[in-house]
Chain A
Amino acid sequence: DTAVSQTPKYLVTQMGNDKSIKCEQNLGHDTMYWYKQDSKKFLKIMFSYNNKELIINETVPNRFSPKSPDKAHLNLHINSLELGDSAVYFCASSQDWQGPGYTFGSGTRLTVV
C-alpha cells in the first residue's frame, strides 16, 4: 500500500502549457505539503494545507495553484509553464499536532521544453 502517491511520475511538456500533478495520501493525516527540489537537490516548501485550508504559501508565483478537495488529496495545477519550473515536485503529509512524522511521495519530475 502506497502511503503518499503522486501522479504522474514523469511529465514532459512545452512552455506555455497548463499541467496538473495529483497527490493522495491514505494515512489519515490532516496536513499536506508541496515541496520543490531544484537541480541542485535543494528542497523548498511551496504550500502547506491543514484540513483543506491553505496555511503556507511560500512566495510561489500565482501560476501555481494548489487545490485540496478533501484532507486526503492535494493537487498542484501550474499555468503557463516556464523553463524554470523544471524540477522534481514532492508531495508529503503529516499529522501536524502529533509531531513531524512526514511521509513523502516518490516525486514528479517535471521537464519543460
Chain B
Amino acid sequence: GNSVTQMEGPVTLSEEAFLTINCTYTATGYPSLFWYVQYPGEGLQLLLKATKADDKGSNKGFEATYRKETTSFHLEKGSVQVSDSAVYFCALWTGAGSYQLTFGKGTKLSVIP
C-alpha cells in the first residue's frame, strides 16, 4: 500500500536557522506530493506541492523537490521565523479515483527567538 514516512519530531530551531524535514514515500505509479502545515489550533493548509519527478514546489520561502530516484520530498527553508512554528505534514495522492490523501505522521517545528 501507499505510505509516507517523515522524520520524527519535535524539531526545535533558533530563529534564522536552516530547516530540513525529511519525507520519503512508497507508492504505486507516479504520485503527486504535498506539504501541509497546521498552525496551533487551526486546520491544515496546503503549503506546496509537486506533481511529477524533478518538480520543485515553493511557497513562503519553503521548498521541496520531487526526487523519484530516492522517493523523497524533503522540505527546506533557509531561514526560519518564530511564525513558522507549526506541525508539518508530508502527503501523497495517487491520482483521480484514489479518493484520499495519505499523510505522514507530522513533524512539529518550534522556532525560538
Contacts and interface: CB of A to CB of B under 8 A. Distances in A.
Given A99-B32, A100-B34, A50 B99 contact: yes
A86 interface: no
B45 A104 contact: yes
A16 B28 CA distance: 41
A107 B97 CA distance: 25
Contact of B43 (A41, A48, A100, A104): A104
A106 B42 contact: yes
Contacts, number: 53
Interface string B86-110: 0101000100110111110110100
B32 A100 contact: yes
Nearest to B42: A106
Given A97-B96, A99-B51, A100-B32, A42 B105 contact: yes
Contact of A90 (B43, B93, B96): B43
Interface residues of B, number: 23
Contacts of A48: 99-100
Interface string B35-71: 0001000111110010100000000000000000000
B87 A96 contact: no
Contacts of B32: 99-100
A96 B89 contact: no
Given A42-B103, A45-B100, 4 more contacts: A41-B108, A45-B101, A55-B99, A104-B45
